[in-house]
Amino acid sequence: EKKEEEKKEEATDEKKEEEKKEEATDEKKEEEKTEDDKKEEEKKEEPKPVKMKTITKEKKKVHRRTLDVKTYYIGNIRPMDGALLQESRAKLNALALKDLERQKLEHAKNELESYIYFVRNKLIDDEEQIKPVTTEEQMEELRSMSSAAEDWLYDDGYTAGREAFEEKLSQLTAPMSDLLYRVQEVTDRPAAVAVAKEKLEKVRNLMKKWESTKPQVTELERMEVLVEVEKVEVTIVDKVSRQEEADPKGPPVFMSSEVKKWWKDLEIMVTKLNK
């Protein structure tokens, strides 16, 4: 029995020894594992070194050669060279000038046709204003000229050039413009005379006012102005009376555009004294 107990104890002791060895082995493994993990983490934390790679590039050398190029064309259409281009431009310019001349010709035709109708309508619509300053012969002559121009327009005018139309228009506008001017002067002439008389009256009043407001202007200077006023008044009376006696259908004694010239010297005198 004692031997069996001893054997059991020995077996128990051996078992304990083995367990201790196993525990020691496990602890060692655990320590080794921990150290390995630490090393692995340190490796991860350490930055990887940048690898430099040297690249060698080949240097290209350019060789230049002069090439002989020959052109040829396929088909009927060829690009224009200098001579053809110049010829084409000349043709286009000629066509443009021809078209411009055609437009001018059409414009001349329209101008003549419009003026023919203008003359005809004016002689009818403004007959009351025209008759006092135009003779019946003059009016009849204008009617005949406009009718003749119309006949020519629709006959020989079909083949006529621009200059012919312009000449026909000029022949018709000259007497008609003269007639219209005489009609206009019937109202413009009295209006210009009225303006002149008004200015003369203002100058008279101004000289009276200057007696007290402009003592630097002498009495002699004021008298010279008033003498000039009377001279203009005499001219106005003379011209107006002669115009009233003249034949209204003949040449006028004076035009409305002339009236301003009569008191131009007077205006200069007053302007100098007013400085």
Q: Give the CA distances from residue 180 to residues 47, 89, 91, 139, in Å, rounded to whole numbers and listed in that order.
A: 109, 49, 47, 12
Q: What is the pLDDT of residues 249-271, one digit of tens each?
A: 888 999 999 999 999 999 999 99
CA distance 221 to 203: 13
Token output for 208 = 């009276």
CA distance 55 to 61: 19
Q: 3-class DSSP state for residue 64?
A: coil
Count of C-beta atoms within a 10 Å radius of residue 164: 16
Q: State the DSSP code for 135.
A: -
Does 231 or 8 have the greater pLDDT score? 231
179: how many CB neighbours lie within 10 A of its CB? 19
Tokens of 257: 């555009």
Arithmetic mean of pLDDT over the chain: 84
pLDDT confidence of 2, banded at 50, 70, 90? very low
Cα–Cα distance for residue pair 163/171, rounded to 1 Å: 12
More confident residue, 135 or 31: 135
**SS3 state of residue 235:** helix
pTM of the model: 0.61
Reported as type and span, the H/E element at residue 20 is helix 2-45
Could you read off the pLDDT of 121-146 as tens digits, one per residue? 999 999 999 999 999 999 999 999 99
